[in-house]
């Protein structure tokens, strides 16, 4: 994340840090999810770590916004909306 900042001064590194922390928590708590939810968790994290997932995460000003929306949607879908709150607050939603 920090290395990408050298190429893009406008990169929202704070959002990146929030997303990484959220993903870590989600993976840590994955054992409490059913199999389908675990699969969704892996997919959400997979999209987060995929640098060019339709919106170039490190080159576009809003490159991480799509990742944030996916993470929020996933957390709401599995009944964990509180974990999405730091992301929402950062985005001003």
7-11, 14-18, 53-57: segment of lowest average pLDDT = 53-57
Task: Give the per-residue pLDDT at 37.
Answer: 87
More confident residue, 4 or 46: 46
Task: Supply the pTM of this predicted model.
Answer: 0.76
Please state the rounded mean pLDDT for residues 5-28: 79
The pLDDT tens digits for 23-73 are 999 888 888 889 988 888 888 888 777 655 555 555 555 668 888 988 999
CA distance 86 to 23: 12
More confident residue, 19 or 93: 19
The full 3-state SS of the chain, as one line of letters, equals CHHHHCCCCCCCHHHHHHHHHHHHHHHHCHHHCCHHHHHHHHHHHHHHHCCECCCECCCCCCCCHHHHHHHHHHHHHCCCHHHHHHHHHHHCC
The residue ranges of every structural domain in the chain are 2-91
C-beta of residue 56 within 8 angstroms of C-beta of residue 49: no
């Amino acid at each position: 994340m920090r290395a990408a900042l050298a190429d893009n001064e406008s990169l929202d590194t704070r959002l990146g840090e929030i997303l990484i922390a959220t993903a870590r928590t989600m993976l840590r708590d994955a054992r409490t999810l059913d199999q389908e939810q675990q699969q969704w968790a892996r997919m959400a994290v997979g999209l987060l770590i995929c640098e060019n997932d339709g919106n170039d995460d490190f080159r576009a000003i809003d490159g991480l916004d799509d990742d944030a929306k996916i993470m929020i949607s996933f957390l709401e879908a599995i009944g964990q909306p509180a974990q999405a709150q730091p992301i929402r607050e950062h985005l001003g939603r």
